[in-house]
Amino acid sequence: MKITAMTHLGLGRAEDGTLIPRTLPGEDVALRDDGSAQIVTPSVDRVAPPCRHFKTCGGCALQHASDAYVAGFKQGIVERALSAHGLTPPFRTLHTSPPQSRRRAKFAGRRTKKGAMVGFHARASDVLVAVPDCQLVTPALSAAIPMLEALTVLAASRRGEVGLTVTESLNGLDVLIGTDQPLTDQLRLDLAVFAQNSGLARLTWNDETLVTIQSPAQSFGPVKVTPPPGSFLQATADGEGALRDAVQEILQGADRIVDLFAGCGTFALALATQAEMLAVESEAEMLAALDRGWRSARGLKRVTTLTRDLFRRPLEPDEFKGFDAVVIDPPRAGAAAQVATIAASGINRVAMVSCNPVTFGRDVATLVAAGFVVDWVQVVDQFRWSPHAEVVAQLTRG
């Protein structure tokens, strides 16, 4: 059978509609008894996967495709999302984060007869795959796997599985254990000793921070911020930098800016070098981290924070009075209600960041209907070898 297209999830679609992973458009394939594909005629875009775990691990979907193909595929997803609303703006060159740059990963850990295994699940399976040579995560995260196996022996039940969210920070690893296991007094003590002996910056058990040995800080522009355990963080420092540079370019010259869905200050604190900021976010802990970072820095303009659920209570048009511009970076659901009030406000410049091309297209169309023009769009690929695409755009009115 021939593969005729690729879905937005990175699956090849055959002529009869069958979805076959790890195939490319134009390829002739035969299905084996186990459902896997035998490539009869390979695409010119097919390459040897750079990671030896690709065949078994479910963490990556597109290592069999050339970088050029993946770039075109991801930009095509965004182009189609916009064209569905009649929009065909100019695109800047796509930016891709390098291999081994993912600074946060959620591993799974299970105890074994000989100790423990830590890795990722196989595709659409609960089978755990060891990934000692993962080409996606930073070297520090790969080097931490033996430590995480020892931690799993402490934290996991005989038959249960633990989630291990590991983030590389400026002062060491920040580890969040997700588990249904009860936390006993003895286990709390053992884990605190383990964190100290392992040189961890912070160790958290579900919602309880057990020990902070050093602040697990991140650099947001010129400011060091310590995010709450498990809070949102851009996947790679490289990708974050590309998004931040684009946003700063878009908002250059603005004196007062609103940052919507501000998180811990990814954009607000960098923009505070040039403008007064209002940072709005629903999570009070994240805003508290942002505020501490701002107060510890020097040379920044004033940053005010506002805790508010922008889905239920978007900023109203009159609340934008006195501001020159907006940066908005909503979650995957987009921000239909908030974008509608921006459209009805006096704001004439917007830096829109999104992790979902579909809701991005919808929200951009709302602003265009209100008189905005999409000056340019850039895709930022910080989820290398996945079908996921991040996007940033400049919109101006008047």
For residue 39, the cross-strand partners are: 29
Q: Which of 120, 396, 372, 94 shows the shortest CA–CA distance to 243? A: 94
Tokens standing for residue 108: 């799974």
Rounded distance between C-alpha atoms, residue 228 and residue 230, angstroms = 6
∠ CA(183), CA(185), CA(188), 5° rounding?
A: 65
Question: Measured between alpha carbons, how far is 355 from 372 in angstroms, rounded to an integer?
Answer: 21
**Burial of 317 per CB tally in 10 Å (0-12, 13-18, 19+):** middle
d(CA 319, CA 313): 12
List residues bridging with 279 in a β-sheet. Answer: 259, 305
* 355 annotated active-site: yes
Q: Return the ∠ at Cα 24 (arms to 21 and 26), rounded to 5°.
A: 135
Give the β-pairing of 349-354 and 325-328: parallel
Helix (H) or strand (E) holding 34: none
> Choosing from 57, 134, 264, 355, which is the catalytic residue?
355
Q: What would the two tokens of residue 396 be?
A: 């101006």
What is the set of active-site residues?
Answer: 355
